[in-house]
Amino acid sequence: MRLTDKTLNTLNAPEAGAVIYHDDLILGFGVRVSEGGTKSFVLTHGPRRQRETLGRVGILGLSEARSEAKRRLAEYTLGRTQPRAIGWNDALEEYLAQIESTVRWRTHADYGYILKRHFRYGATRLKEVTPHEIQKSIDKLSQTPAMQQRAFVVLRAFVHWAHRKHYFEQNPMERMKPPHRYVPRERVLTIDELRRVWNAAGDDDFGKIVKLLILTGQRRGEITALTGAMVKTDTVTLPASLTKNGRIHTIPLGIQARKILGHAREAHACYFPARGKETPFNGFSKSKPKLDKRCGVPDWTLHDLRRTFASGLASQGIGLPVIERLLNHVSGTFGGIVGVYQRYDFMPEMREAIAAWEEYIVAQIS
């Protein structure tokens, strides 16, 4: 197809992975559209069909992208330049674009967030980024051991990829040891702490997310990514691409949760969009400390609410199989052969559990 400024707006995103729409005017030039709707100009060239990302649509115009594609093709064809020494940010964008079709949406977003937030080397060429600089960046996360360990793993995957692409002459993380093993948290909020968190949360998007985490026990990324297509009258269905175990997950919505979600949204509309964007809410680093100050509850995380939810249900006499269904756990009660043959969805029992939990929460926060 011949790409124009008009046709760029009509390119459809695939249901999964990514698709490239090739331009008729320049061989190898086109637009890559991910399942999330992100559009990037790309150039594929050479006997190995190497693909480069030229820039995001909107940041880079079509005519500019075509000119850059022609310039690079001319240089490669005439042999005037060798493959360039790539900068950190450019390599990072190429890496994220390449893995987008091979990992879940939530994983891809997590990788992008960690690499861009904690390893800011800008336009510095990869071969100039030293092991000392990388170690210094990792050491800065020592106060948050879970994030430090996660950041190390994510960065190591990126560096290994870059080394295989010959962007690094030598792997700068080759002799680095992973941070000390993280010990899982066991924090469960008391009912007094839960009351203080709820009452301080407010009714903005972040406050609503916190309250839904308390009421449903789902993961932060699952609640923030809710769209109109996932929410029905009294249920929420999380797609496999969003859940941690890669399985579709349907849970009932109680009265309080339905009030928080309010009116229905269009299929692709986010319930909690990022400011000025159509992507999910991402303002946790600013909103959580403010909530901590208002509620006065020390040493707690949003994921602790999930543990509190499970413990609270158990204290109300809810059976473990029902709790595990609500949490979308596939181990424990549903592990092994049971997981293969047990297909009962426990929806009636889950409805009763959610109703009882909401009644308990409302009574305690009043």
User: What is d(CA 176, CA 74) in angstroms, rounded to the nearest whole number?
Assistant: 41
The pLDDT profile of the chain, 366 residues, written as one tens digit per residue, is 889 999 998 999 998 889 999 999 998 999 999 988 899 999 998 777 788 889 999 888 999 999 999 988 887 776 554 545 789 999 999 999 999 888 877 788 889 989 999 999 998 988 889 999 999 999 999 888 888 999 999 999 999 999 988 888 889 998 899 887 766 678 999 999 999 999 999 999 999 999 999 999 999 999 999 999 999 999 999 998 888 888 899 999 999 999 999 988 999 899 999 887 888 998 898 999 999 999 999 999 999 999 999 999 999 999 999 999 999 987 555 544 444 445 577 899 999 999 999 999 999 887
Q: How far, in Å, are 115, 136, 152 from residue 176 at the CA level?
A: 17, 12, 10
Total-model pTM: 0.59
Among all chains, which residue has been given the structure tokens 């030039």? 29
Residues 200, 204, 207, 213, Cα dihedral to 10°: 160
User: What is d(CA 165, CA 52) in angstroms, rounded to the nearest whole number?
Assistant: 12
> By C-alpha distance, which of 259, 344, 347, 349 is closest to 313?
349
**Predicted local confidence at residue 339, as pLDDT:** 47
User: How far apart are the two ends of the chain, measured CA to CA in Å?
Assistant: 61
Q: Quick check: 31 and 21 in contact, CB under 8 A?
A: yes
* Residues 150, 213, 223, 199, CA torsion sign: negative
> By C-alpha distance, which of 176, 172, 171, 213 is closest to 301?
213
User: What is d(CA 104, CA 244) in angstroms, rounded to the nearest whole number?
Assistant: 9
3-state secondary structure of 91: helix
Q: What angle do CA 317, 333, 352 make, to 5 degrees?
A: 35
Q: How far, in Å, are 39, 49, 87, 97, 271 from residue 67 at the CA level?
A: 18, 20, 21, 21, 39
User: What is d(CA 91, CA 81) in angstroms, rounded to the nearest whole number?
Assistant: 18
